[in-house]
Structure 1
Amino acid sequence: MARSLGFDPFLHKRFLISFYLGAFPGSFSRGELYESDPKTMDARNCGTCASLCGLEKGLHERDEYQQELAVKRIVLLHGFCMAANGIPVIYSGDEIGQLNDYSYIYDMHKARDSRFLHRQSFDWAAASKRSDLSLPGSQVFRKLHRFIMIRKGQDMMGSANKLNIAGTDDPGTICMLVEPRDVYGQDMMMVVLANFTEFQKNVMVETTSSPLLREDDWTDLAQGKTVRLAGDPVVLGPYEILLLTRNSRNG
């Protein structure tokens, strides 16, 4: 599969290992390696979601825009998982943006296992400040809570639905169609439109995937904004995700 897309799978994995370690030039990530093998050059990456997504680096460098992008990455990843089938899992601490805990190296029982970088105790002090939206971790909590409430209130978001992909004109974006499996819901659909890049995108969706995509305006359940999928490009901000339902169904 990788070679059919035009890249070498070994070199691509080496890039991912280096990027999420934080060693690749321009990487926003901060992590460590686990089971690194110098002979095969294989390894695993360790780190909390927030640190791997750039929040640790942004806070360390006091770069507010990096922090903003990091929060968007965290929310995008969790939001996309919540829109898919199955039961979404939030790793303890990710809901408040906990960073890597490097103190494990001072514990003789943990020092040789870098997975303790993210296997830390829950930070209840940080959790107690989750109403302070000036803090990036609190912003993560509020936005993930919003997505959880949306999922709980939407029959379209659950294990009993089928997923399909509609094409877009940009490889950094994805359009996922969430539809019921039963025949009684054939006029129902949720469209998950996501931008996995740090750049604004004007995205055209391939509407031949379903006739429903050519009907009505669509409203994002998280932000309330309305878009039209047929004919006009949809403007997506950096790392933005939209959970779209048809206005005729909303009203």
Structure 2
Amino acid sequence: MPTALPAHRREVLDARIERWLPDLLAGLTPLYADPVAVADRLVALATAAFAAREDELHALDLRRSLAPDWFQREDVVGYAAYAERFAGRDLAAVAARVPYLESLGVRYLHLMPVLTPGPPPNDGGYAVADYGSIRPDLGTMDDLAELTRTLRGRGMSLCLDLVLNHVADTHAWALAAKAGDPAKRAYFRVFGDRTEPDAWEATLPEVFPDLAPGSFTWDDDLAGWVWTTFNSYQWDVDWANPDVFCEYAQIVLDLANRGVEVLRLDAIAFTWKRLGTNCQNQPEVHALTQALRAVARIACPALLFKAEAIVGPRDLVAYLGTGEHWGKVSDLAYHNGLMVQVWSMLAARDAVLGSHALQQLPVPPSTTAWITYVRCHDDIGWAIDDGDAAAVGLDGYAHRRFLSDWYSGDFPGSWARGLVFGENEATGDRRISGTAAALAGTGTWDPQAVARVLLAHAVVFGFGGIPVLWSGDELGLGNDPHWAQEPGHAADNRWAHRPRLTWGADDRPVPDSPAVARGIAALTRARATLPQLHASVAARVLDPRDPAVLLVAREHPLGTVLGAYNVAPEPRHVPLQVLRDLGLDPARVVDHLTGAAPQLAEDAVQLAPYQALWLR
């Protein structure tokens, strides 16, 4: 332990090691033959990082420890963006735009990949060549530290991506492996012939079948086949090697000491490989996350982990902790299922499948939170479970096909303007790109498009967790018509839903739809004053009484709130008995979104087309 540490710092560090060492060892034991030796290395790294951590960040650690639910609170709203497409320039420009984010109620800012990637193509920055530097066009690590300092001063936390499954083939580890360094070659899975790759690929699904078929790439310098789940230029690292774990632990600690408060663990589901499986969601994934989190808790407990696990509904909750990992892995996880079901309900004009599917998810640990969202930077894959579909009388394959047809605008009567991304001819899967406004049909013949955009956001804002706005969606921006004209983008239509914001003279971005902008701003204000939306309160999805109305109850000691969402283009209703069963008095209930009493008729609450109500 560094002798320079003052006594009060040494006391804190000793207490944290005592507290978190059991979790660390429990996580490492399933992974490595000598977990104690690996733990010793990791504690030494954490100790050095703790000693180097500046006083302002130690103070942040104390505040977060005293208020561990800070990220679960109802006044936390998130925003996600590419720095240069949001602010027009670099990290300094993002700092200058913070007042706009503050006006939206944003407390959590996720900037898409800012660490130095390999040369194009680089998967939008997710092929990282250097975890210790910032893209030159965005600034420096000192600029990153300054941005986090600015955000902390406004009560905001910065989230950055940490790609765990792979690195760019230009990363220093990959270059050393190519040059013949045996230690660095062991950071990857390399095979001299096709015998083992063929055995693995017998059960491996293709992530990008049209852009990057197969899961292995031949490299002349390696004289072997290297594992490349996503793209040929993204080499999967081998987490079964404890040196790889220690390398990533150091990266985590370094970013935390720059003031980053949330790390999005990109592609976490793919990190552990097991022959004969799809190499996703393996039990060791959760063990290694627990161990990595324990290291961070020793040195920088203000840091949160967010699992980027876009997986099937049955596997999702494990990323927040189940069984022996309950509450010990990621603090946040994407509620991909909610996003998929929102769009499914809108296309089908029916909430029965969505209600059933959401009811199947176990309640996550009360110390964690979902990230809820209408859109993100990625395409939408239609994660409709065949069992859920069958339970409500649907064919899962047919429904997924319908959703792809609807949101690409190919289905008769569709108002959507999405783009097909990643079509797999073998399975029939077609994913969809497009902004929320484009998918909801703004700018088309349908006058109800704005209402659909606002309804979708009301669902995710009222579900609990941290609702995150995707940059431009709060402005009703449509697809970027020039997305293919930028270098390196022509083969990836996801850039259509990553539009650049245009800033006006008032230092606010120019909306395509002022009505959407006003509606989203109203949602953020309403949410911040409703304690029932604290993430520790589980959302309870009720059986729908009207098949087109999603019902979500949030039962809290201060009283229950019922979210009612009409996903149909015509009026619908909620029987008053639903309110009475929840302890809500129909004569006294008000809609929190407007402050007004709902319309009552025929012993039911009446909902206008695409109307959302938060009844309290």
TM-score by length of structure 2 reads 0.35
Question: Deviations for 1:184-218, whole angstroms, at most 9, x for unmatched residues?
Answer: x1x51111111011011133255388350356421
Question: Deviations for 1:44-80, whole angstroms, at most 9, x for unmatched residues?
Answer: 100000000010324xxxxxxx23x111111111111
Matched, 1:85 2:432: no
12 and 52 in structure 1: CA distance in 2 versus 1, 3 angstrom threshold:
same
Code of the residue aligned with 1:218 in structure 2: it is V
Code of the residue aligned with 1:189 in structure 2: it is T
Question: In 2, are the aligned partners of 1:21 and 1:33 still within 8 Å (CA)?
Answer: yes
CA RMSD of aligned residues (A): 2.4
Aligned to 1:122: 501
Code of the residue aligned with 1:169 in structure 2: it is R
SS at 2:555 equivalent? strand
Supply the distance in 1 between the matched residues of 2:423 and 2:525 (Cα, whole angstroms): 40
Question: In 2, are the aligned partners of 1:221 and 1:243 still within 8 Å (CA)?
Answer: yes
Supply the distance in 1 between the matched residues of 2:406 and 2:613 (Cα, whole angstroms): 27
Aligned to 2:534: 158
Matched, 1:16 2:387: no
Aligned to 1:222: 593
Q: CA deviation at 1:150?
A: 1.0
Question: In 2, are the aligned partners of 1:215 and 1:230 still within 8 Å (CA)?
Answer: no
220 and 211 in structure 1: CA distance in 2 versus 1, 3 angstrom threshold:
closer
Question: In 2, are the aligned partners of 1:167 and 1:206 still within 8 Å (CA)?
Answer: no
Supply the distance in 2 between the matched residues of 1:101 and 1:235 (Cα, whole angstroms): 37
Q: CA deviation at 1:129?
A: 4.9
Aligned to 1:144: 520
SS at 2:606 equivalent? strand
Question: In 1, are the aligned partners of 2:574 and 2:604 still within 8 Å (CA)?
Answer: yes
Supply the distance in 1 between the matched residues of 2:567 and 2:550 (Cα, whole angstroms): 8
Supply the distance in 2 between the matched residues of 1:116 and 1:176 (Cα, whole angstroms): 33
SS at 1:123 equivalent? coil
Supply the distance in 1 between the matched residues of 2:459 and 2:513 (Cα, whole angstroms): 19
49 and 33 in structure 1: CA distance in 2 versus 1, 3 angstrom threshold:
same
Supply the distance in 2 between the matched residues of 1:142 and 1:228 (Cα, whole angstroms): 23
Aligned to 1:25: 412
Code of the residue aligned with 2:399 in structure 1: it is H
Matched, 1:36 2:417: no
Question: In 1, are the aligned partners of 2:563 and 2:613 still within 8 Å (CA)?
Answer: yes
Q: CA deviation at 1:5?
A: 1.0
TM-score by length of structure 1 reads 0.82
208 and 197 in structure 1: CA distance in 2 versus 1, 3 angstrom threshold:
closer
Code of the residue aligned with 1:192 in structure 2: it is G
Matched, 1:176 2:552: yes
Aligned to 2:264: none
42 and 208 in structure 1: CA distance in 2 versus 1, 3 angstrom threshold:
same
Matched, 1:189 2:568: no
Give 1 or 2 for the bigger CA radius of gyration: 2
Q: Match for 1:198 among 569, 581, 592?
A: 569
Supply the distance in 2 between the matched residues of 1:77 and 1:25 (Cα, whole angstroms): 22
Matched, 1:239 2:610: yes
123 and 215 in structure 1: CA distance in 2 versus 1, 3 angstrom threshold:
same
Code of the residue aligned with 1:191 in structure 2: it is L
Listed as ranges, the matches of 1:42-57 within 5 Å are: 42-57=429-444
More deviation, 16-25/78-87: 78-87
Question: Deviations for 1:195-248, whole angstroms, at most 9, x for unmatched residues?
Answer: 011011133255388350356421012223214889811110010001111xxx
Supply the distance in 2 between the matched residues of 1:214 and 1:221 (Cα, whole angstroms): 15
Q: Match for 1:212 among 583, 593, 597?
A: 583
Question: In 1, are the aligned partners of 2:599 and 2:606 still within 8 Å (CA)?
Answer: no
Q: Match for 1:104 among 475, 483, 490?
A: 483
Aligned to 2:110: none
Q: CA deviation at 1:6?
A: 0.9
Supply the distance in 2 between the matched residues of 1:53 and 1:159 (Cα, whole angstroms): 28
211 and 229 in structure 1: CA distance in 2 versus 1, 3 angstrom threshold:
farther
- Identical counterparts, % of pairs: 29
Question: In 2, are the aligned partners of 1:166 and 1:176 still within 8 Å (CA)?
Answer: yes
SS at 1:194 equivalent? strand
Code of the residue aligned with 1:115 in structure 2: it is R
Question: Deviations for 1:88-122, whole angstroms, at most 9, x for unmatched residues?
Answer: 00000000000001312223410000101112212
Code of the residue aligned with 2:578 in structure 1: it is T
Q: CA deviation at 1:125?
A: 4.7
Would you say how many aligned residue pairs link Structure 1 and Structure 2? Answer: 227
SS at 1:192 equivalent? strand
36 and 205 in structure 1: CA distance in 2 versus 1, 3 angstrom threshold:
farther
